[in-house]
Structure 1
Amino acid sequence: PYDWPIAIHLLAKGAINIDEMITKKYPLTKWREAFDKVMEGNEIKVMIESNPEEF
């Protein structure tokens, strides 16, 4: 629980590049596939985008 403020601070000041941690991005419509890939060990950290057109 005490890690969140530190993590948010490091992200905000650019000390951590989160893009390097995400192995794949999935649209919300493919959430099941994203979970399956993680559980199979094919992906490490995925991002599920609720509305990719906004990004």
Structure 2
Amino acid sequence: MGLFRDIGRNYEEFKQEVRETADESAEFRCTACDAAVHTDTDTCPECGADAVDER
């Protein structure tokens, strides 16, 4: 069982690193909730606010 726990932990760490890297490279950010937005849109996909600005 230790092997599966280690694999699960490594997978979760990898997902977190990917998410952080993607957020850092986002070209847009919501000024209402500070979510990273990767496409040019007026509405935030996380909170729905019309507050997306270019970084």
TM norm structure 2: 0.31
Structure number with the bigger relative contact order (C-alpha 8 A, sep ≥ 6) is 1
Structure (1 or 2) with the greater helix fraction: 1
TM-score scaled by length of structure 1? 0.31
